[in-house]
Amino acid sequence: MTGDVREPGPAFVAVDWGTSSFRGWLMAADGTVLAESRGGEGMLHCAGSGFAPVLHHHLERLGASDKLPVLICGMAGARQGWAETPYLKTPTRLDALHEGAIRLDTPGDVRILPGIAQARADQPDVMRGEETQLLGVTEPGFTGLVCIPGTHSKWIRIEAGAVVAFSTYMTGELFAVISQHSILTHAVEVAGSLAEDGAPFREALMASRAAPSGLTAALFRLRAAQLLGFEQRADGAARLSGLLIGSEIADAAQRFGAQLPLRLIGTGALGRLYQAALAASGFEVDTIDAEQASRRGLAKAAVQIWGAESRT
């Protein structure tokens, strides 16, 4: 590489390239953000128009030299992405994530970090992007749980710095499809996004945690409760959120245990909602901003890749 990542000034470009968004940062070697560029050119957009021109456009906006190394995480490494980056398999050490990166056949040094797969027939699961956040929020040797809420919420168990097991819940996506496409559209005023904390959310959360096997019946009761005058439509979104998040937390607590330290990677309203829900469910929660987690993970991996190479 052209620069030493331990020098001040631009050292590399970090990119979180998801399904529907691009977020790039010009980074100093110490992890300081020097510039930022974001756009809606996620994997779905680029699958048609190509990935290289989008990256080039954002590098220009960042004022980044073509010679700066670029490290990418997320769906750009999926089969439908820029170049398929094979999954690492659980159990896998987070500090070895960079070893699974692939280097693209493009000018400059552009690499994509791998996702992680739980390649077990009885518990198959996959992540792309979250592994980099995990690297960002854990110190070497960390043992505990991480919860990453979202469209597909993830719970990850980490032992001595290695991802040993994880489980993905379709919480956010179910909220969207149920509130937009099912009979519950009549029971939910604001469709599409999880609601705010409050009494209706808490009540539904607790009801769902108390009877986690009855989720599909609890969903119908949302409608019945309004027909019978027990509940209000204005609270429908909060109750639907509570039922789905309660079901997720109940299962995760049973699967992974509620005694371990828990780090929550969350942002904004969704982060606050999960923080409240997890605290109400007996977890001791430490919350870290989601973007910061991605950037920190990319920075750690970049130092491992280029910092190490520059010393050889």
Binding positions for a second copy, rule: CB under 8 A: 79, 117-119, 121-126, 152, 167-171, 173-174, 177-178, 180-183, 207, 211-217, 219-221, 224-225, 227-228, 230, 244, 247-248, 250-251, 254-255
164 contacts: CB under 8 Å, gap ≥ 6: 90, 91, 157, 158
How many CB atoms lie under 10 A from the CB of residue 117?
18
181 contacts: CB under 8 Å, gap ≥ 6: none
**Residue appearing with tokens 């990119």:** 15
**Three-state secondary structure of 155-198:** EEEEECCEEEEEEEECHHHHHHHHHHHCHHHHCCCCCCCCCCCC
Residue among 55 and 253 whose Cβ is closer to a second copy: 253
Q: How far is the CB of 49 from a second copy (least distance, A)?
A: 21
Residue among 16 and 248 whose Cβ is closer to a second copy: 248
Q: How far is the CB of 154 from a second copy (least distance, A)?
A: 9
C-beta of residue 143 within 8 angstroms of C-beta of residue 260: yes
Residue among 180 and 193 whose Cβ is closer to a second copy: 180
Give the distance from CA 192 to its chain's centroid: 18
Residue among 37 and 85 whose Cβ is closer to a second copy: 85
Q: For the purposes of burial, counting CB atoms within 10 Å of the CB of 96, is it exposed (0-12), middle (13-18) or buried (19 or more)?
A: middle
Residue among 168 and 304 whose Cβ is closer to a second copy: 168
Q: How far is the CB of 223 from a second copy (least distance, A)?
A: 8
How far apart are the C-alpha atoms of 195 and 215, rounded to whole Å?
18
Residue among 54 and 187 whose Cβ is closer to a second copy: 187
Q: How far is the CB of 96 from a second copy (least distance, A)?
A: 20
Q: Which two tokens stand for residue 6?
A: 């331990």
Q: How far is the CB of 125 from a second copy (least distance, A)?
A: 5
Q: How far is the CB of 181 from a second copy (least distance, A)?
A: 4
